[in-house]
Amino acid sequence: GAVVSQHPSRVICKSGTSVKIECRSLDFQATTMFWYRQFPKKSLMLMATSNEGSKATYEQGVEKDKFLINHASLTLSTLTVTSAHPEDSSFYICSATRTDYNEQFFGPGTRLTVL
Amino acid sequence: AQSVSQHNHHVILSEAASLELGCNYSYGGTVNLFWYVQYPGQHLQLLLKYFSGDPLVKGIKGFEAEFIKSKFSFNLRKPSVQWSDTAEYFCAVNPDSWGKLQFGAGTQVVVTP
């Protein structure tokens, strides 16, 4: 149980376009989802916390107009990178948690490459 | 600033050797502590976690960790590693009762046959 999926697993796009990444909890209802960014040889950096039905809470330094997060249901959160630029190229990972289990379950990540 | 520090960025050892990875945090008060592993090409998986109780925590795949409150440490250990333990290991701290995690920089462990 507690499986989290992400789609797509990798995406290549042109500079200036927008890219949407989906995060789904497959077998449980996720009260909260988190979005992380992982740079090569670096740790995971929390970008934002997403609660179903409410606005996401962004970490300091993360542009909320750049990284749009929507948590439409208890099983789906989306991250949209708007007007992507090469510096947005990275590995984006989501995680999900539920109220009765104090643990985050991680998705496999999405590799974004902006040309 | 509050932080999570992992002492080694890169560790190379032979099969059957013992492994110990250091983790220190700077948060005060009650924290929840985690060790995650990321095998090549795979997603993060939980190795073990500490919330309260016995400070020696046993996890999956023969791993254990010891919480030493006075040292703000949560070191990961395995008595005898295998080639399949080659992975990146992340220490993480959850300073809230539940919620967002602060990760250490990670330690790349390479086990040679």
Contact (CB<8Å) A109/B98: no
> Does the structure show a pLDDT above 80 at B1?
no
**Res B46: pLDDT:** 92
The residue of chain B with its CA nearest to that of A2 is B45
Per-residue pLDDT tens over the stretch A79-114: 999 999 999 999 999 999 877 767 889 999 999 999
- The predicted pLDDT at position B98 comes to 52
B97 pLDDT higher than 70: no
CB of B103 within 8 Å of a chain A CB? The answer is yes
Which candidate in A6, A7, A44 is best for mutational testing of the B interface (most B CBs within 10 A)?
A44
Q: Compare all CA atoms of chain B with the CA of A59 and give the residue at the minimum distance.
A: B100
Q: What is the pLDDT of residue A104?
A: 87
pLDDT at residue number A92: 97
Beta-bridged to residue A97, according to DSSP, are A32
HSE-up of residue B22 (Cα within 13 Å, Cβ side): 9
What digits encode the pLDDT tens for the residues A28-68? 888 899 999 998 777 889 999 998 888 899 999 999 999 99
Phi, psi at B77, each rounded to 5°: -140, 150
Angle at CA of residue A61, ends A60 and A64, nearest 5°? 90
pLDDT at position B96 over 70? no
* pLDDT tens by residue, B38-73: 998 888 999 999 988 999 999 999 999 999 999 999
H-state helical runs in B2-80 = none
**pLDDT for the residue numbered A84:** 96
Residues of B in contact with A42 (CB under 8 A): 105-106
d(CA A102, nearest CA chain B) in Å = 6
